[in-house]
Amino acid sequence: MAKILFLLMDEKRLPTSLVIAKNSLNRYEDVKVIILGEALKALKSLDEEGLAALEELQKRGAIDSACFYSAEKEGIKDDVLDMGITLAPIGERMAKYINQGYVPLTF
């Protein structure tokens, strides 16, 4: 079975991307999610379905982190942390998972 790394970058597609990631939890050996770039801005305005997907992903330990640089650049660092999402240098996080054989999927 494959291990999947979801890289969520698109602000408009974040809610749908979170739902796709959530629906993938039982389809693969492991699923991890990293949120970066413009997608971080959409965290504060998620619709009900997107928020439910985010909460399920967090509950199942699939949300790895969000990009520290992007959160700081957008001025939403505290908002992201308040949502229980860890901020990290994304290059290091991506390298960790790719070196462990995760297949990156970008949305």
Give the closest residue to 43 by CA, choosing from 69, 93, 82, 5.
82
Domains of the chain: 3-106 (3.40.1260.10)
Q: Which residue in the block uniquely carries the two structure tokens 């629906």?
A: 23
Segments of 13-99 assigned E as strands: 30-35, 63-67, 87-88
Q: Give per-residue pLDDT as tens, 6-65.
A: 999 999 999 999 999 999 999 999 999 999 999 999 998 999 999 999 999 999 999 999
- pLDDT of residue 107 exceeding 90, the answer is yes
Which residues does 91 contact at the CB level (< 8 Å), separation at least 6?
none
- The predicted structure's pLDDT at residue 1: 85
* CA dist., res. 29 & res. 6, Å (int): 14
Q: Give per-residue pLDDT as tens, 55-101.
A: 999 999 999 999 999 999 999 999 999 999 999 999 999 999 999 99
The one-letter code for the residue type at 9 is M
